[in-house]
């Protein structure tokens, strides 16, 4: 069951769900709007030739931090990682679904490629997987509404929520934009 606006507000007010900073005006009928942060990871296409999934991916991307009122320009077919300003902490009986804003989707901006699902127990800022499908560059600004998060109840609280010691939760407590931990797919550290 998807939480309504009144249930989102209730869970935030009683501390079950944390969205920080919280702006009540960002609560929609069944979601909450989240804002774009100021730091990004972009592929360093000038020094890298291939994404080798068996190798560490840290060197593939470089960090960009934008200042107030300074845009980051996303070129056609470009892919970047970004973050939300908000930090979210999920209780053990709630999952989240991150989706783009329709007004941005209508100009060709995709906010997540595959990782729009947030497990119960997740805590941190949300990393966004942004792509420009348009034929023109798109300027994005820190602080703009970039996506929306909806929340759904589990049938019962998770036995092993995200971050539990029995799991390999690579992105728990992430702050700022976090790149891929792809080496975990191959069991490497």
Catalytic residues: 129
3-state secondary structure the chain: CECCHHHHHHHHHCCCCEEECCCHHHECCCCEEEEECCEEEEECCCCCCCCCCCCCCHHHEEEEECCCCCEEEECCCCEEEEEEEEEEECCCCEEEEEEECHHHHCCCEECCCCCCEECCCCEEEEEEEEEECCCCCEEEECCCEEEEEEEEECCCCCCCCCCCCCCCCCCCCECCCCCCCHHHHHCCC
């Amino acid at each position: 069951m998807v939480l309504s606006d009144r249930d989102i507000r209730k869970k935030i007010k009683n501390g079950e769900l944390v969205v920080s900073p919280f702006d009540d005006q960002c609560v929609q009928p069944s979601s909450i709007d989240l804002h774009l942060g100021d730091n990004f990871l972009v592929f360093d296409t000038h020094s890298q030739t291939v994404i080798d999934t068996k190798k560490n991916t840290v060197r593939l991307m470089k960090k960009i931090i934008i200042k107030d009122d300074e845009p980051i320009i996303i070129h056609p077919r470009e892919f970047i990682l970004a973050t939300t300003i908000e930090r979210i902490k999920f209780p053990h009986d709630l999952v989240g679904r991150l989706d783009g804003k329709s007004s941005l989707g209508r100009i060709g901006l995709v906010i997540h490629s595959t990782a729009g699902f947030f497990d119960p127990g997740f805590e941190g800022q949300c990393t966004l997987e942004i792509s420009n499908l348009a034929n023109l560059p798109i300027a994005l600004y820190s602080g703009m509404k970039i996506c929306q998060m909806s929340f759904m109840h589990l049938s019962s609280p998770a036995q092993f929520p995200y971050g539990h010691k029995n799991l390999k939760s690579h992105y728990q407590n992430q702050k700022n934009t976090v790149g891929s931990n792809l080496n975990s797919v191959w069991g490497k550290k």
